[in-house]
Amino acid sequence: MNVYIPLLTLAGLGMLFALFSVSVTSLTGPKRYNRAKVDAYECGIEPTPQAVGGGRFPVKYYLTAMMFIIFDLEIVFLYPWAVASDQLGLFGLAAIMLFLFNLTVPFVYEWRRGGLEWD
């Protein structure tokens, strides 16, 4: 049984703290449940429902997110490669090139599909 003690304490602590924090917020926090709370962005930027083109999707927000991800990942993986590139040699180069190509594909797709035009 004792094998469980660390695990159970872990779970117990987690649960307790989580419950505590959640309940405290719900107890102390002001209760103003309004539309804004269930909006897509509580930060206030209201995605316009009837945008130009009658409800065409305002893709901007998450196209940006996508682009961010593309370049973010690129960097994240370029660093380790760069550090060890001299040992990885040609294989590593080929691999990272393949990786970069695969990252470019969605970028190209986005660009061709007009995701980059901010009207």
The minimum distance between CB 22 and other proteins, in angstroms, equals 6
User: Which residue in 29, 53, 118, 119 binds other proteins (CB under 8 A)?
Assistant: 53
In this complex, which beta carbon is closest to other proteins, that of residue 42 or of residue 118?
Answer: 42
In this complex, which beta carbon is closest to other proteins, that of residue 11 or of residue 118?
Answer: 11
Query: Applying CB under 8 A, does 113 fall inside the site for other proteins?
Result: yes
Query: Applying CB under 8 A, does 38 fall inside the site for other proteins?
Result: yes
User: Which residue in 24, 65, 97, 100 binds other proteins (CB under 8 A)?
Assistant: 65
Q: How does DSSP assign the chain, residue by residue?
A: -TTHHHHHHHHHHHHHHHHHHHHHHHHHS-----HHHHSS-TTS----TT-TTTS---THHHHHHHHHHHHHHHHHHHHHHHHHHHHHHHHHHHHHHHHHHHHHHHHHHHHHTTTT---
User: Which residue in 24, 45, 71, 89 binds other proteins (CB under 8 A)?
Assistant: 89
